[in-house]
Amino acid sequence: MTRLLLTSLIALLLTGCQAALFTVVNARQPSAGVVAHRDIPFDNGLSLDVYSPPDATHAPVVVFFYGGSWKSGKRQWYRWVGEALAARGMVVVVPDYRTWPKAKLDGFMDDAAHAVAWSRGHAAAYGGDASHLFVMGHSAGAHIAALLATDKHWLEAVGMRPRDLSGFIGLAGPYDFLPLTDDSFIDMFGKTPAEQARSQPVNFVDGDEPPALLLQGDADTTVKPSNATSLADRYRARGEAVALKMYPGVKHIGILLALGPSKGKAPVLEDVVTFINAN
């Protein structure tokens, strides 16, 4: 992708034209023969899409949660992510989840847990291996995936536990972001310190987590890089497997676009594929 086009895509995002941005990115993503299964209901009136390699058998399964400040997003916008990973041999599930103000922490985490449970229960039907299951996300989606991997409360509600996951992959995620100052986030995560503490993945690392891959751009001004370093430090303190990759000069949207037709400044797709194949 040319620097001019990448600059144009970032400009679309910054002006709030997310739908236009992802329309362009989707149009540039080659399908590579990927099989798409769309509009599959799974819980609370929500649906998900599944992308699988042709003739997949026992493929790793990745549940990808999109970002949007827990306030916006549509699974259809992320077809390019599903196709990019499926083209590398993964069965990819992209679920929707309820967002604020319709839902708060408990609502969107419940949706996410049910999406993972659905993926585990239906993996084989799409050529996936339920014992090789990963959660992954960007920005707010990385936060959701991180809580699933660290706070056993969420997966226990659907008959699972964090160690049922083969790994967690977070792109530019907020994991340690107190204090809250924005009114919408206070409404979303709680007014008291005890309520807000429930939203912080760093508070739940206890030595029972799956391996983690934390990907972060050091030029990110939307989610501070200290979030990734803080969570990595907590993993290491508990003797947990974690890899932190800090990409020089990469910003918040750039790390996401590097998954697809824009390889940008960082080998994000290659690093994700390497981690999945190793775990």
Count of other CB atoms within 10 angstroms of residue 137: 24
What does the pLDDT look like over 155-201, one tens digit per residue?
Answer: 999 999 999 999 999 999 999 999 999 999 999 999 999 999 999 99
* Per-residue pLDDT band at 44 (split at 50, 70, 90): confident
Strands (E), the chain: 35-43, 46-52, 59-65, 91-95, 128-138, 167-171, 212-217, 242-247
Respond yes or no on whether the N-terminal peptide bond of residue 41 is cis (omega within 30° of 0). Answer: no
Which two three-digit tokens encode residue 42? 């799974």
**pLDDT value of position 261:** 72
Q: Which residue has the higher pLDDT, 18 or 60?
A: 60
* Per-residue pLDDT band at 26 (split at 50, 70, 90): low
* Per-residue pLDDT band at 265 (split at 50, 70, 90): confident
Mean pLDDT confidence for 221-226: 97
Q: Which domain holds residue 143?
A: 3-278
4, pLDDT greater than 50: no
Which two three-digit tokens encode residue 112? 């996410």
pTM above threshold 0.75:
yes
Gap between the Cα atoms of 199 and 177, Å rounded? 9
CATH number of the domain enclosing 189: 3.40.50.1820
Overall number of domains in the chain: 1
Which two three-digit tokens encode residue 70? 């827990």
